[in-house]
Amino acid sequence: MAWNEPGGNNRDPWSSGGGNRGGNQGPPDLDEAIRKAKQRLEGLFGKKTGGGRGSGGSDGGRGSGGPGLPSAKGIGIIVAVLVGVWLLSGIYIVDQGTRGVVTRFGAYQETAGPGPHWHWPYPISAVQTVDVSQRRRVTVGYQAVAAQQTRPVLSEALMLTEDENIVNVQLAVQYTISDAADFIFNFVQPEATLKSVTESALREIVGKRNMDFVITEGRTEVAQQTRELVVETMEGYNTGINVVEVVIQDAQPPEQVQPAFEDAIKAREDRERLINQAEAYRNEVIPRAQGQAARLTEEAQGYTARIVQNARGDASRFSQQQQAYAQAPRVTRDRLYIDTMERVLGNTGKVLIDNESSQQLMYLPLDRMMRSGGASSSNSGDTAGSSMNNTVSSNSSSSGSQSSSASSGSLRMRETR
């Protein structure tokens, strides 16, 4: 049955009274809920003192609305909340590339790595983070004014060399932090310490070198030796600093003598150029001369070997001929004579004349004609020579067989003697 039908006794669900409801069955009142919550909090943290709701009371009593003392339960909750907040404040997170140095009452406790950690909150413990991945820089001889601007510091840059000259050296040191605890606690100003050590090491290295070496080809060596000396010194101090690189930014003479020094550099460059040209010429000439000398040496050695072998061969042949002559002297003598005449007359022109014949003989110098003429004249000369021989032979045969045989016998005898 609906609440507004006849016989329903007007049971309105949002009304506060009437009928057989016996209480408030409607939605809760917001103001009433807030009032009840306030009363509960007041009952938890404190209670009212004095009389009831009336305005009158005893002479020394307070009003009904005055605050009272907090209860023990309320104090415990408050203390627990405060302690929880204080303990939660000890949570800290160390980023990647950094280290957290934890101290307790100012004394070092531990070094925390990257990640979340907890320590006793302030004032018991504290954490100081140090970036160990960043490359830091310390300069000697100059100071960075802006991103691309520097200002020289002459009190640091001017140094005395071994040859008693003054040189302006500007140097930069790049370093990282290797131990965060040593970096914080061992020195008050570790960067100032590093700068002083670097300046001292640089002055020591430059003082052992000449000025020309420092400002020209010796920059890399000076920087390397300076780094080694700085690393050795800083390791003994336990500063927690790792020197990564030492770079000489600039090395030059003072401004007052730079024009004269530039002239000296130009003269030195000219000298080096001339020396290089002379060395190139020497490298070109000496190998050629050495090759020619080697060739002449080889030729002389070959000639020596040939002469020695020929001499040995002649000596051996003479020894063999001597042995043969001892066995058959006449035969060996005739053989030597024939061989000698063959060797002598083999390369000479020969004309045979029968001096016992009374007939006239025409003589043609065939050897001269053959030397003066060409190939054709040599062929014609051969023909003329053959005809001449035929003429000589015919003249010889016409004198008779007896005279021919006699003359040939006498000629043969003369040539063999």
**Per-residue pLDDT tens for 55-103?**
444 444 444 445 555 667 777 788 888 888 888 888 888 888 888 888 8
All residues at 6 or more sequence positions from 159 whose CB lies less than 8 Å from its CB, including other chains: 166, 167, 168, 169, 202, 203, 206, 207
Bridge partners of 117?
92
Contact 148, 123 (CB under 8 A): no
Structure tokens at 200: 């001292």
Total Cβ atoms within 10 A of residue 173:
27
- Helix pair 258-327, 329-345: axis angle to 10 deg: 130
Peptide bond into 123 cis (omega under 30): yes
Residues of the chain with pLDDT under 70: 1-28, 41-71, 349-367, 373-417
What separation, in Å, do the N-terminal and C-terminal C-alpha atoms of the chain show? 186
Domain positions in the chain are 89-130, 136-255, 265-340
Say what the pTM is.
0.49
pLDDT score for 106:
83
Q: Which helix (H) or strand (E) holds 298?
A: helix 258-327
pLDDT at 390: 46
Q: What is the pLDDT of residues 122-173, one digit of tens each?
A: 888 888 888 888 889 999 988 888 777 888 888 888 888 888 888 889 999 9
Question: Which conformational region is residue 120 in: left (phi greater than 0), alpha (psi within -120 to 50 degrees), or beta?
Answer: beta
Closest by CA to 194, choosing from 166, 202, 385, is 202
Residues 6 or more apart in contact with residue 67 via CB below 8 angstroms: 46, 48
- Of the candidate CATH numbers 3.20.20.10, 3.30.930.10, 3.30.70.240, 3.30.479.30, the domain formed by 136-255 belongs to 3.30.479.30
Give the pLDDT of residue 18.
46
**pLDDT at position 302:** 95
